[in-house]
């Protein structure tokens, strides 16, 4: 259960990182 929770937390962090990168790229291209 703990392993699954850690995996979920890691996926959420990766998703936030991807969103931040996309926002940064969109900001630079505009």
Q: What's the pLDDT at 30?
A: 85
Q: In this structure, what DSSP letter does residue 24 have?
A: H
CA distance 20 to 30: 15
Q: What's the pLDDT at 15?
A: 98
Q: What's the pLDDT at 1?
A: 61
- Taking the mean position of all CA atoms in its chain, how far away is CA 24? 13
Q: Where are the domains of the chain?
A: 1-30
- Say whether pLDDT at 13 is over 70: yes
- Say whether pLDDT at 8 is over 90: yes
Q: What's the pLDDT at 29?
A: 93
Q: What percent of the chain has pLDDT over 70?
A: 97
């Amino acid at each position: 259960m703990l392993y699954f929770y850690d995996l979920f937390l890691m996926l959420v962090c990766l998703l936030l990182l991807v969103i931040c990168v996309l926002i940064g790229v969109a900001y630079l291209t505009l």
